[in-house]
Amino acid sequence: MSTATMTKDEPVYDVDAYRADFPVFSKDIRGKQVVYLDSGASAQKPQAVLDRMMEVYAGEYANVHRGAYWLSERSTTLYEEARETVRAFINAEKTEEVVFTMGATDAINLVAMTFGRGLLKAGDEVIITELEHHSNIVPWQMLRDDKGIVLKFAPITDAGELDMPAFEALLTDKTRLVAMAHTSNVLGTVLPVEAVIEKAHAVGARVLLDGCQGIVHCPVDVQALDVDFYVFSSHKLYGPTGVGVLYAKYALLDAMPPFRGGGDMIASVTKEKSEWAEPPAKFEAGTPPIVQAVGLGAAINYVTAIGMDAIAAHERDLLLYATQRMASVPGLTIHGTATHKAAVISFTMESAHPHDMATILDRAGVCIRVGHHCAQPLMERLGVSATARASFGLYNTRADVDAFVKALEKVNEFFG
């Protein structure tokens, strides 16, 4: 059993009890108890989330905002309650600042196609970093090619940290947006987002944070951060796929044009013109991910009951333990040694290609991610074509780490 360091007044982190909440850990894979170290790609789902979604589908489901009957009213209530759950979780000022999307990728594209296309002009500058996920690179490249904005990449250090002096040197009076990860999906680096936001705001720029990894590993308060846009996906936060969140300050949502046209995002439609609904409806055209949003709300309630600070402490313990254990494996190199890291470790081994590693680990029941992790510019910066990545969740234990390291030793035995 793995526990973070606790004081007398703090409850013990009961990881065994939490693991029991996830049905996947009661199953064997290839005759082995599963060691799931790919939560950075998508987290497993607790029974409470699965049950709540099934309850809605079975007895509380109808389309939202449109029906003058009990089922529709009930479904609408549940959908909007999920929005309020998100608002409270990230401490947004108002529920109207929470837009449900198909995921974080969809949310970033929404900002690029509305704030970007609608409010930026040729010559305006957008700054991102070398460690971004493709979802926070490609939309800005498309905007550059379409509108003539200037796209700049802030460099990272050899430790995988943001080169803050170099970032500050990129800021000018033409900088309109800084878009970067809160936490790197590859290196686990927690970026100095408070300082970034302060520096960006000082030149009049807005800031978008890709919070897919950040929201999972630490508490997030968007008002305290004073961030302009914050995006994240449900499925990395122990919720279902198919739904994500765009938080944006209301004044920005009000000024931005809609992303998609259709039902529910309009105030009125005539043959001559359409008028838009107020945010967030303006950005939620068509039938939304109703049950998925309720599932996200259930996932937030689940992690909130455990406590985000408690989860963070548990994962810090796992990160430290895994880093120490991996140091004993000959020929293994960890990429990303930032001072502030989440429980994500990318690595390579001299004896085997990452895909070969994954095959050996799979036979031992250990699930990791290999490849470029949708971060090819970062791979180029690191000087590798691919890495293996172990990412930890609230349900992982030191025993998982031990099984993982034992499997890595088997890789050396087999290939070395």
| Catalytic member of 212, 218, 367, 374 | 374
**Can you read off the two tokens belonging to residue 145?**
């090619």
Backbone phi, psi, residue 135, to 5°: -65, -20
Cα 216 to Cα 42, 78, 144, 389, 408: the distances in Å are 11, 23, 31, 17, 26
User: How far apart, in whole angstroms, are the C-alpha atoms of residue 367 and residue 353?
Assistant: 16
Q: How far apart are CA 412 and CA 61, in angstroms?
A: 53
Cβ-contact 388, 368 below 8 angstroms: yes
- What is the pairing mode between strands 35-36 and 32-33? unpaired
Q: How many helices and strands, by DSSP H and E, does the chain display? A: 16, 17
d(CA 79, CA 86): 11
Whole-angstrom distance, CA of residue 285 vs CA of residue 250: 18
Q: Which helix (H) or strand (E) holds 299?
A: helix 290-306
What type of residue is 218? C
| Exposure string for 257-284, b = 16+ CB within 10 A, e = fewer | ebbeeeebbbeeeeeeeeebbebbbbbb
C-alpha to C-alpha distance for 277 and 289, rounded to whole angstroms: 19
Q: Residue 398, Cβ neighbours under 10 Å: how many?
A: 16
Distance (Å, whole) CA 388 – CA 133: 16
Structure tokens at 379: 């791979």
Separation of alpha carbons 43 and 404, rounded Å = 18
SS (H, E, C) 177-218: EEEEECECCCCCEECCHHHHHHHHHHCCCEEEEECCCHHHHC
Respond yes or no: is residue 212 known to be catalytic. no
Residue entry with tokens 């796209």 = 151
Residue corresponding to tokens 């035995």: 413
The residues annotated with a catalytic role in the active site are: 374
